[in-house]
Amino acid sequence: MKKATLSDIAKELGVSTGLVSMVINGKARQNRISEEMSQKVMDKAAELNYRPNQFARGLKTGRSNTIGLIVADIANPFFGKVARAVEDYAGQHGFYVMFCSSDENPEKSDSLIKVMIDRQVDGLIIAPTEKSENQILSLKKNNIPFVLIDRFFPKIKCHRVVVKNKEGAYSAVSHLIKMGARTVGYVDISSGMWHMKQRFEGYKAALREAGVSFKTSLYKEVQYSLFHEDMQIKISDLISENPDIDAIFFPSNILGIQGIQVLKRLQKKIPDDIAIACFDDPEHFSLTEPGVSAIAQPIQELSRKVVDLLVHDINVDKKEHGEFQQIELGTQFIIRGSSG
């Protein structure tokens, strides 16, 4: 069964393809095509099970009604939920979403952006990786609509929607201290990304304000590339170098999830031996016993704002730079058993 085309309909009805095109696209009225004609076209289209060829349409109009979403890892629960929310909101605006995982790798991110642009996405949503500044600048230079989510580069002016990272970490660490912690470790992922630095700033601010001293031995950094092994090593180091350690703050969900497993393996009781809190609140933090105190991000709102900004930019076909929205949303700290 060959797919029906516009000209199949036109031929069968003895009219021009142009007319059929207008009817199909709901422009019958503004082109003053008769009701009767419209109806005949619609009926025939239905009869032939006509579906417009998006390639032809896109080639002609230059639009794909598709947006690209590049995150670190679609299987990470945080990004999984972001992806789902973006899919839903974009769908409401008539856009389809193409997802990709950059694996925190700038080369992969670069090639994904190219692939997306090759596929003529109308715009991009990106959670940028480390060292991808030039990619973002190049999007800007080429006037490709895009919005950054979750992360950003302070020096690059562009649309971005992120959360208050410093404030979020501050509230969690302050709570750990309030619950009695005096030696609070910090297990970071190795990354020059600004949002992670801000979380660390929040941690230090909380210590400072509580008069709790900071030592560099309390700060450990693990490599993304050999994540599982390195977590084990660095947390063991953290504990052996700080025998009096009574709490650890994990500044992201994958760090927290893996960190809990390591602590379990090391036979540390949470919160009795070591209290913990985590940035991000994946589903299962309410399932573990004790539950994990966590900083929940407003994923729905984050996603909605991002889609709104991007769709607006795509539709206005903006030429004028300058009006960049830099949105910071608040987080919510959820207290569960793990913090003591």
Partner DNA sequence: CTGAAAGCGCTTACAG
- At 294, give phi and psi (nearest 5°): -150, 155
Q: Is the CB of 57 or the CB of 336 nearer to DNA?
A: 57
Q: Residue from 12, 33, 98, 197 that binds DNA (CB under 7 A)?
A: 33
| Local structure of residue 162 (DSSP, 8 states) | E
Residues linked to residue 207 through DSSP beta bridges, in sequence order: none
171 binds a second copy (CB under 8 A): no
Site for a second copy in 249-268 (CB under 8 A): 257, 260-261, 264
120 binds DNA (CB under 7 A): no
The total of other beta-carbon atoms located within 10 Å of residue 138's CB is: 13
- CA–CA separation, 97 vs 116, rounded Å? 11
Q: Is 18 exposed, middle or buried (0-12, 13-18, 19+ CB in 10 A)?
A: exposed
141 binds DNA (CB under 7 A): no
Nearest alpha-carbon partner for 321 in 152, 154, 150, 137:
137
Site for DNA in 46-75 (CB under 7 A): 50-53, 56-57, 59-61
Q: Considering CB under 8 A, how many residues would be counted as binding a second copy?
A: 45
34 binds DNA (CB under 7 A): yes
Q: How far is the CB of 249 from DNA (least distance, A)?
A: 51
17 binds DNA (CB under 7 A): yes
DSSP 3-state of 335: coil
Q: Is the CB of 77 or the CB of 298 nearer to a second copy?
A: 77
25 binds DNA (CB under 7 A): yes
Q: Residue from 8, 17, 33, 52 that binds a second copy (CB under 8 A)?
A: 52
Q: Residue from 23, 72, 100, 314 that binds a second copy (CB under 8 A)?
A: 100
Among the candidate windows 17-25, 75-83, 161-169, 276-284, which touches DNA by CB under 7 A? 17-25
Tell me if the bond preceding 145 is cis, omega within 30° of 0. Answer: no
Which of DNA, a second copy, none sits in contact with 81, Cβ below 5 to 8 A by type? a second copy
In single-letter form, the type of residue at position 141 comes to K
Which of a second copy, DNA, none sits in contact with 46, Cβ below 5 to 8 A by type? none
- Residues of this chain that interact with DNA (CB under 7 A) are 3, 5-7, 14-19, 21-22, 24-25, 31-34, 37, 50-53, 56-57, 59-61
- Residues of this chain that interact with a second copy (CB under 8 A) are 1, 51-56, 58-59, 64, 66, 73-75, 77, 80-81, 83-84, 87, 96, 98-101, 114-115, 117-120, 141-143, 257, 260-261, 264, 282-284, 286-289
